[in-house]
Structure 1
């Protein structure tokens, strides 16, 4: 938003798999996508399965190169300057992706280990984050001994432990039961706010987007913005319901629109 430092910039970004013009042998996943994310902003990206959300995630994290356009994170190109981004972006995936041969604390230490942080310092940081997420008593447990919610807590601790500027989450709670997912959403929101992180959260749930995001983008396939809005911290039930209806309309292929709930 205006007056704030832009942490993430997508400018006319497209991603084509295969060669353009090859018909069935090429596929456009992202089409002329432009948006900005301010430092400290909490963004929810919403869209149907296959709309290109995860491709955008791959572009943003530096795992994919754009076919056209410009991507900047803190003024740097995440693909061309991949090494520069070590420790600056934390990722929480849909599946916890823990290393089964490492204990919980060793999994949390892993990112710090890659950053060559001193062993005693990284152990203290890992134990601190496990404690914050209620897992101090399970620090020495292996992933197979932990529940799904506990494993995802470990993955969140691992992401926060490297003290990244930007947190990227790709439907991290979708595989959990709703009670566990709701508890983890609240914990995640509190941690992001307390630590002043920029958060970009991919979801296919309207309710989750409204809970997580203060800036919401709805994608159509191939990934482009069909609806975008900025929400106040406090919204009336009527305002929230009106926003929900606009999101539903956008997901139902109504014309693209933008809006701000002041």
Structure 2
């Protein structure tokens, strides 16, 4: 049932020609195994930075992140197959077909070709990509390329999902369908997948998250909101929670 994530007083600074820039300051929160937490805020509030630290591609300046008793930036390769990430850019390899791109993570994990093909075909059907298995990225629309990127994460059946503005480039009809598919994914199987979902869209944050963290530039968490079940189906209450987040960000 997923893996727990503990973010403990994390600060990240970057050196520039003009001095030191603080991207995030004393981020402190836990994500329980199987919980879905969204982080919402404007550009420059540290959303992508904290995701990169949890993923293990950045180290904090101070504080630490602990995932299942390990620090991902100290033990990056031990998390292969356990953590999957989807970014705003699709990051597809132009010389690989859509199916080959989607199965890239499984290939790296040594999954046999027949099993890779079966999993990719199932998710291509779910995400509306059937018939495009042999297309190359340059032959696909932006939305379809992103759906290939989402498949690449979904097929690995990860313990943790990290998503950075994953639906930000999609048209609203496609994005709505993928949100529904995404919620079905993290609720499927034997247990929920531990998930951190980064977005600038307040409505999306409230729809997807069990909890919403609100961050404001320069990288400080300013509010923490428990989301009641079925909130997005109650327009009046949804508006109240949306207004609370907007007021926090002003």
Matched, 1:205 2:201: yes
Question: How far apart are residue 187 of structure 1 and its match?
Answer: 1.8
Picking from 220, 241, 246, the partner of 1:248 is 246
Asked whether the 8 Å contact 1:166–1:198 carries over to 2, the reply is: yes
Asked whether the 8 Å contact 1:6–1:38 carries over to 2, the reply is: yes
Give 1:97's aligned residue: 91
- Structure 1 moving runs of 4+ over 6 Å: none
Question: How far apart are residue 189 of structure 1 and its match?
Answer: 1.7
CA distance in 2, matches of 1:121, 1:5: 23
Deviations along 1:210-258, one digit per CA (max 9) or x if unpaired, are 1221210001223221011111212333322211111001111xxxxxx
Give 2:173's aligned residue: 179
Matched, 1:237 2:235: yes
Matched, 1:117 2:115: no
Question: How far apart are residue 74 of structure 1 and its match?
Answer: 1.9
TM-score, length-scaled by structure 1: 0.88
CA distance in 2, matches of 1:86, 1:188: 21
Deviations along 1:90-109, one digit per CA (max 9) or x if unpaired, are 11110111111111110111
Matched, 1:18 2:12: no
Matched, 1:40 2:34: yes
CA distance in 1, matches of 2:236, 2:128: 36
**Cα RMSD after superposing both structures:** 1.9
Question: How far apart are residue 161 of structure 1 and its match?
Answer: 1.2
Secondary structure at the residue paired with 1:240?
helix
CA distance in 1, matches of 2:39, 2:213: 5
CA distance in 2, matches of 1:119, 1:185: 29
Asked whether the 8 Å contact 1:104–1:139 carries over to 2, the reply is: yes
Asked whether the 8 Å contact 2:2–2:193 carries over to 1, the reply is: no
Question: How far apart are residue 5 of structure 1 and its match?
Answer: 8.6
Q: List aligned pairs for 1:84-233, cutoff 5 A.
A: 84-195=78-189, 196-233=192-229
Give 2:25's aligned residue: 31
Aligned residues: 246
Deviations along 1:31-64, one digit per CA (max 9) or x if unpaired, are 1110001111121110111111111111111010
Range 205-214 or range 124-133, more displaced = 124-133
| Unaligned ranges ≥5, structure 1 | 253-262
Asked whether the 8 Å contact 1:12–1:69 carries over to 2, the reply is: yes
Give 2:48's aligned residue: 54
CA distance in 2, matches of 1:36, 1:27: 25
CA distance in 2, matches of 1:62, 1:250: 30
Higher relative contact order, chain-length normalized (CA < 8 Å, sep 6+): 2
Asked whether the 8 Å contact 2:3–2:34 carries over to 1, the reply is: no
CA distance in 1, matches of 2:171, 2:130: 23
